[in-house]
Amino acid sequence: MSHDEEDALLAGALGKFVNVDGAMGRKIIPYAHDAFHVPESRQYDKQSAADRLKEIALSLTPNERAVLEGFVLLCSCGTLETTSFFEFLHWWALCGYTYQGCMDALISYKFKGGQSSFAIKFFKEALSTRKLSYAFNSPVQSISDEGDNVTLTTRNGQQYTGSRLVSTIPLNVLNTISFNPPLDSQRASAANIGHVNQCVKVHAEISNKDMRSWTGIAYPFNKLTYAIGDGTTRAGNTHIVCFGGFHNHLQPEEDINETKKAAQSMAPGNMDIKRLVFHNWSKDEFAKGAWFFSPPNLLSTSLDALRSRHGNVLFANSDWAVGWRSFIDGAIEEGTRAAFTVTEDLRGASTSRSRL
């Protein structure tokens, strides 16, 4: 199939998948940044992607079903059964309710210097204020709110104290930390359930220059299922990004030959691999997964709880952003919200003091 044929196939299949309201999802989620605005939208959080596929099964050709499942799993990197259909509709709304919008917002653009270059700019800007102290590689053991102050203790016994604490700890790591007073039961339960994204992202440098703009799907049998040609490396090789997920989970560092084989199976005969680069986010103790993707019944029950403050502890992570949840934009949303809250808090406090 040509690129255009593939696009049309996936666009058509996605249309059938999301069209729950005769308006391609616009009626059920009219505001992507307030996705539960229409109360009926909550019912779709009871459904998994697998449930929705069952509903529309008779209207899908086998090819449509394969590309659709591949695309949904590329978003959630869970399994079809553990992917909330609501959250997929929310992504669809964020992308302007079109396939083209999904390509534009999710896949087409990247930073010239990679995401690290972006993160480094943030960090340098913070450093330049001369108000930033930092410690890396310091797993947190406990967070204790003593009323006037919050104290954080690392596993190696280091302590930090402040009047407010902004926790950016991801959902899947939250239950490894002891809170005093304990987290409310709704948030604790959500943290125990966690999100389902166990994305495996393997970057391959290959010599074949024709693969520059290639897209491949190898689903459901291969351990990497979706691959995209992503430019030319400085060495003149082609950069291919391969994605896999929990539905057929690969631990890429455990057996390099298996990983290589999974990548090569994406395009038999065309993957002369020069180099593989990956990071196992599933095993990373600071992440325990990739970008947030919710199972059914998590967001409709727990989003408000995840966003609420816990005394002097504010929680700011893209995992519970209301708009671009799971994306860097969502992290900025949440960071802004926490910064604003802390500023208001402390200005209020200093006002009270000066009034005494």
> Which one, 130 or 234, has the nearer CB to its own copies?
130
In this chain, which stretch among 96-104, 140-148, 257-265, 293-301 interacts with its own copies, using CB under 8 A?
A: 96-104
Out of 3, 27, 275, 347, name the contact with its own copies by CB under 8 A: 347
Q: How far is the CB of 11 from its own copies (least distance, A)?
A: 14
DSSP 24-57: TTTTTSS-GGGTTSSGGGGGGGSSBHHHHHHHHG
- 352: contact with its own copies by CB under 8 A: no
Show the binding pattern over residues 109-148: x = contacts its own copies (CB under 8 A), - = does not.
-------------------xx-------------------
| Two structure tokens written together for 108 | 């087409």
Secondary structure letter of residue 324 according to DSSP? S
For the bound state, the minimum distance from the C-beta of residue 104 to its own copies, rounded and expressed in Å, comes to: 8
Token pair belonging to 188:
């604790």
Roughly what angle, to the nearest 10 degrees, separates helices 299-307 and 185-193? 120
Torsion 67-71-72-73 (CA) sign: positive
Mark the segment that binds its own copies (CB under 8 A) among 81-89, 93-101, 281-289, 329-337: 93-101
Contact between 101 and its own copies per CB under 8 A: yes
Residue choice 11, 56, 65, 96 for contact with its own copies (CB under 8 A): 96
Nearest to 291 by CA among 299, 281, 301, 283: 281
Query: Across-strand partners of 242?
Result: 202, 227
The span from the CA of 17 to the CA of 209, in Å, is 35
Among 34, 81, 104, 184, binds its own copies (CB under 8 A): 104
Give the nearest distance from C-beta 90 to its own copies in angstroms: 17
CB of 347 to its own copies, least distance (A): 6
In order, the DSSP letters of 115-146 are: HHHHHHHHHHHHHHTT------S--EEEEEE-
Shortest distance, position 342 Cβ to its own copies, whole Å: 13
Q: With contact defined as beta carbons under 8 Å apart, do 318 and 331 qualify? A: yes
- CB nearer to its own copies: pick between 255 and 344: 344
Is 15 among the residues that bind its own copies (CB under 8 A)? no
Binding residues for its own copies, rule: CB under 8 A, are: 96, 98, 101, 104, 128-129, 344, 347
